Structure 1
Amino acid sequence: MPIHPRAQALLELIESLGDPPIETSTPEAVRALRNSRIRPPTVSLDEIRDVDAGGVPARLYRPSAEQGLGLLVYLHGGGWVLGSLDTHDNLARSLADESGCAVLSVAYRLAPEQPFPSGLEDAFTAARWAHANARALGCDPGRLAIGGDSAGANLAAVVTQSGSPPFRFQLLVYPVTDARGGSASHEAYKEGYWLTEAAMDWFVDHYLAGGDGSIDDPRVSPLLASDEALAVSPPTLVITAELDPLRDEGEAYAARLRSLGVPAEVTRYDGMIHGFFSFGEFLDDGRRAVAQAATALAEALAAPAPALQTSTS
């Protein structure tokens, strides 16, 4: 279907800012530009504080003072090059507020200064730290989930394939699962919908700038992982945007999970573009997608019902 009118208006607003194409800029320049446009928070929570997640900077969001909360380890998007705790602050607040679960947002190292596998190593470290220290955070180590958007979802998928720590749920929002590109959606939406083919090449080139890994490496392209690795994934929600180059690879990832017996739901938001999940201020479907993700998270991490006590009198 055609682009949603509100998504079109958002694209026109972005175009009016006159930013140069990302592939013609430096990471430092793009970060500075995006940081200058961070919108102030709109959601208040019981507790928000920065923590050291095993040497990885992170920020904890708690929606209530209740102990034993479910915990989502969240990895922000930005092509492994952009993004921070601050760029995704509003999103983390919304997920915590609407799900009733705590969120641990992770500031993994960024390329090209710290190329692959640095960010992935930080994702593993933070996830394992969250599991080991959940009770100290007021959370239940048995109610742990992981998720992310775009490149962050890529990292989340790779972490879950290790099977450790044990996750009960995985949230993948328009994930990068095949860095080779080449899908029908890559070709159909390679220009004109914010995330372009040239921008994706720029992101991948920076991520792999250290010479380790490759686009064929399952740690870079988790869709290429073995059946054995994929089969240990937890129940998964994949959210995609119709007019997104990454659409097909995200949906293909869910299809592979289902083929291996992993419960995996896919929701495609028609008329939407890459990034819509973070643009709830402008897009109704962005708000709806966050609400869907929060509901799925809450259901997946719901505390088990107390055991019935029986009498032997």
Structure 2
Amino acid sequence: MALDDATSQFLSVVAEQGGKPIDRMTPTEARGLGAQLEAMYGPGPQVLNSSDERLPTADGGEFGVRILSVDAPRGVIVYFHGGGWVIGSPDEFDHLGRLLAVRTRCTVVLVDYRLAPEHRYPAAADDSWAALRWVAEQNLADGPLVVAGDSAGGNLAAVVAQRATAEGGPRIDLQVLVYPVTDCDTNTATYVDPDNQLMLSRDAMIWFWDHYVPDPALRTRTNASPLRAEDLTGLPPAVVVTAEHDPLRQEGEAYADRLRAAGVHVESRRFLGQMHGFFSMVNVLPGQQEGLDYVVGEVDRVLSGSAARHQ
């Protein structure tokens, strides 16, 4: 299926504006792209409270979390933003986080993990784990704990879900993986498909990997490539979203298949006519609303089931 009309029109406007592809930019230049998109998204809906906290790291550094609170939360969603471990911030995902908070009636915690190349692997994975443990200790809600993320954030959500299972907690009730990075193989069919070289290209993804994990030997470790884990038994139920025109589609769907084969309950959907990045493009692409509706519905199903079990 071809790209939907709205996406094609958006890409035409971007092309008319010119500019270098991301893989020819410096990390600082690439981070400026996020600010441009943030202006397009506009402000999100009101929440009960928004606050930022700084958390320490094991190596003496620190990273941030943004807590978007709602009244009488049904659960907590810990959200890891996309951006190839190099770009992205809570500011750029604030509108999406607010939508998730309001529509699911959950407290949403946006994790501002440290970015590469200033902080290379495994900094983002370690920060994400520390954030998850901190959230679990804070008792921000009595209901389920959900980890979620898109792209590199989906990678981090999968990584912490695996680690929580291996180390006996915190208990995660659902993992939401939106077009996640699950493997370091950039030679799959969807990676090399010329129709998929859009907002995220194969060259751009190689650029991200080179900044985050410059040593190829380390990329196959499971906290970088969760698809390579030997055993996925016992992992939390999962929602996996993929986009038709996305270099990462094959590895995302392969991860969903492996979870199912390990006995994990998985709900998955490939969004036809969509490209990588559509889920976060609030007020830009109509497909974003459809993707959000799907994720909210799946989260609500888990929340409702949890409430029923506690009655």
Secondary structure of 1:96's counterpart equals helix
Deviation at 1:298, TM superposition (A): 2.2
Deviation at 1:248, TM superposition (A): 0.7
The equivalent of 1:59 in structure 2 is 66
Range 165-174 or range 192-201, more displaced: 192-201
Q: C-alpha deviations, 1:80-118, integer Å up to 9, x for none?
A: 000001111111111111111111000001000000000
Specify the code of the residue in structure 1 equivalent to 2:289: R
Mapping 1:95-244, distance limit 5 Å: 95-134=100-139, 137=140, 139-140=141-142, 143-162=144-163, 163=165, 164-189=169-194, 192-209=197-214, 211=215, 214-227=218-231, 230-244=232-246
Deviation at 1:190, TM superposition (A): 6.8
Secondary structure of 1:69's counterpart equals coil
Deviation at 1:191, TM superposition (A): 5.5
Deviation at 1:240, TM superposition (A): 0.5
Tell me, in whole angstroms, the C-alpha distance in 1 between the residues paired with 2:173 and 2:310: 20
Tell me, in whole angstroms, the C-alpha distance in 2 between the residues paired with 1:306 and 1:32: 46
8 A contact 2:82–2:88 mirrored in 1: yes
The equivalent of 1:21 in structure 2 is 21
The equivalent of 1:274 in structure 2 is 276
Q: CA RMSD in A?
A: 1.8
Deviation at 1:51, TM superposition (A): 2.3
8 A contact 2:44–2:96 mirrored in 1: no
The equivalent of 1:50 in structure 2 is 52
Deviation at 1:53, TM superposition (A): 4.5
8 A contact 1:190–1:196 mirrored in 2: no
Specify the code of the residue in structure 2 equivalent to 1:35: A
Secondary structure of 1:266's counterpart equals strand
Deviation at 1:56, TM superposition (A): 3.2
Deviation at 1:69, TM superposition (A): 3.0
Q: C-alpha deviations, 1:19-47, integer Å up to 9, x for none?
A: 21111110011112432442231311122
Gaps of 5+ in 2: 57-61
TM-score scaled to structure 1, two decimals?
0.90
Deviation at 1:299, TM superposition (A): 2.0
Decide whether aligned partners of structure 1 residues 189 and 151 sit closer, same or farther in structure 2, where only a CA change above 3 A counts: farther
Tell me, in whole angstroms, the C-alpha distance in 2 between the residues paired with 1:53 and 1:73: 15
TM-score scaled to structure 2, two decimals?
0.91
Range 11-20 or range 77-86, more displaced: 11-20
8 A contact 2:196–2:275 mirrored in 1: no
Deviation at 1:79, TM superposition (A): 0.2
Deviation at 1:296, TM superposition (A): 1.2
Number of positions where the alignment pairs a residue of Structure 1 with one of Structure 2: 299
Specify the code of the residue in structure 1 equivalent to 2:261: S
Q: C-alpha deviations, 1:215-236, integer Å up to 9, x for none?
A: 2221111100011xx2232110
Specify the code of the residue in structure 2 equivalent to 1:258: R
Deviation at 1:269, TM superposition (A): 0.5
Tell me, in whole angstroms, the C-alpha distance in 2 between the residues paired with 1:190 and 1:116: 30
Specify the code of the residue in structure 1 equivalent to 2:308: A
Mapping 1:31-46, distance limit 5 Å: 31-39=31-39, 40-46=42-48
Specify the code of the residue in structure 2 equivalent to 1:84: S
Tell me, in whole angstroms, the C-alpha distance in 2 between the residues paired with 1:7 and 1:37: 14
The equivalent of 1:311 in structure 2 is none
Deviation at 1:267, TM superposition (A): 0.5
Decide whether aligned partners of structure 1 residues 180 and 212 sit closer, same or farther in structure 2, where only a CA change above 3 A counts: closer
Greater radius of gyration (CA): 1
The equivalent of 2:59 in structure 1 is none
Identity %, equivalent residues? 38
Specify the code of the residue in structure 1 equivalent to 2:29: A
Specify the code of the residue in structure 2 equivalent to 1:305: A
Gaps of 5+ in 1: 309-313
Q: Give 1 or 2: higher helix fraction.
A: 2
8 A contact 2:4–2:274 mirrored in 1: yes
Decide whether aligned partners of structure 1 residues 118 and 253 sit closer, same or farther in structure 2, where only a CA change above 3 A counts: same
Tell me, in whole angstroms, the C-alpha distance in 1 between the residues paired with 2:234 and 2:13: 42
